[in-house]
Structure formats: C-alpha cells, structure tokens
C-alpha cells in the first residue's frame, strides 16, 4: 500500500465516520421552534379550534361549546385565557393568561383543554 493509498484510506474512513455522526445526530435534532405560537383547544379530547398567538394582535373573543354551555376564550398580544366558563369552580378562569409553549389551561367540568403547541422549558409539571 503506497503512502497515497494510506492517505486515501484515512480520508474515506474519516468521511464515513463524519457522515455517520451527522446522520445519527440529525435523527435526534428536534424541529426548530415555530416563530408564531398556536393554541389548540380540545373538548372531550377532540380538537375543536386552533388560534394563532402573535404579539401585537388586538383582543379577540372565541366561543367554545362545552357539554354544559358556552365558554369564552380571549386571545391578545401572544397570549390566551379563559374569560368565562359555565363550570362551577372557575379554576380555568382563575388560571389567567398563558403564553409559553407547553402551557395549558384545563377545565375539568367542561372537559376543555387549551394548550400552547411546542416544547416548553420542562417536559412536564408536577402539581
């Protein structure tokens, strides 16, 4: 084997190792975060609406039909909240605004879940 052969062999092996690492690393690279957030609303685990949350947007109201009547969601300036709900405890209304990926508002009596899409700073929250 000449010196040139050895050099070629080293180059080829290095190229193979580098491309292998690149492919394997790419497998586990999460998709880049979207620049605009979306809030997904589901009732009884079925998605019923999806709202864009972007900064600077004016206040808008959205009516969601739950099992015991209508709930009203408000979106404004990149955030969303439950403004009113027919539920008894109003925990969802008291929750206030959410704006970060992974955050959610849950109304158990009305079976309504509002979740901002995307990966949050943690995988889950114990509460």
Partner 1 sequence: MIQKAGILITVLLLIGAGLFAMNGKRVVEYSSQQFLMDTLVTIKVYGKDREQLRSAVNEAFAEMRHIAELSDRFPKPGSPAFLASDVCKINQMAGKQPVHVQPDTLAMLAMAQHYAELTGGAFDSTIGPVMDLWSFGSDTPSVPNPSSVQKALALVDWRAVVLDQVAGTVYLKKPGMKLDLGAVAKGYATEKASRLLQQRGIVSGLLDAGGNIRTIGINTAHKPWKIGIKDPRMAGKLAAVVTVQDASAVTSGDYYRSFEQDGLRYHHLINPHTGYPARHTRSSTVLTKDAGVADILSTAFFILPPDQALQLAEKLDGVDLVLITADGALRYTRPLQNRIIQENATGQPDDQRR
Q: Which residues contact partner 1 by CB under 8 A?
A: 1-2, 4-5, 8-9, 12, 15-16, 19-20, 23-24, 26-28, 30, 42, 44-45, 88, 94-96, 98, 100, 103, 106, 108, 111, 113, 121-127
| Shortest CB 111 distance to partner 1, Å | 6
Taking the complex as a whole, how short is the minimal distance between the CB of residue 94 and partner 1, in angstroms?
8
Nearer to partner 1, 8 or 52 (CB): 8
The rounded distance, in Å, linking the Cα atoms of 76 and 59 is: 4
Query: Residue 35 Cβ, how far from partner 1 at the closest point, in Å?
Result: 21
Q: Write the CB contacts of 105 (distance below 8 Å, at least 6 apart in sequence).
A: 80, 81, 82, 92, 95, 98, 113, 114
Nearer to partner 1, 38 or 111 (CB): 111
Beta bridge partners of 39: 51, 116
Closer residue to partner 1 (CB): 51 or 116? 116
Pairing mode, if any, of strands 104-107 and 60-66?
unpaired
CA 41 to CA 49: how far, in whole Å? Answer: 5
Q: How far apart are CA 42 and CA 106, in angstroms?
A: 10
CB of 64 to partner 1, least distance (A): 16
């Amino acid at each position: 084997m000449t010196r040139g052969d050895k050099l070629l062999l080293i180059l080829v092996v290095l190229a193979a190792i580098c491309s292998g690492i690149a492919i394997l690393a790419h497998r586990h690279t999460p998709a880049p975060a979207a620049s605009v957030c979306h809030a997904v609303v589901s009732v009884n685990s079925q998605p019923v609406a999806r709202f864009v949350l972007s900064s600077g947007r004016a206040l808008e109201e959205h009516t969601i039909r739950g099992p015991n009547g209508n709930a009203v969601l408000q979106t404004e300036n990149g955030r969303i909240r439950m403004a009113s709900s027919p539920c008894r405890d109003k925990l969802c209304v008291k929750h206030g605004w959410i704006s970060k990926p992974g955050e959610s508002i849950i109304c158990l009596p009305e079976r309504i879940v509002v979740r901002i899409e995307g990966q949050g700073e943690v995988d889950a929250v114990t509460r």
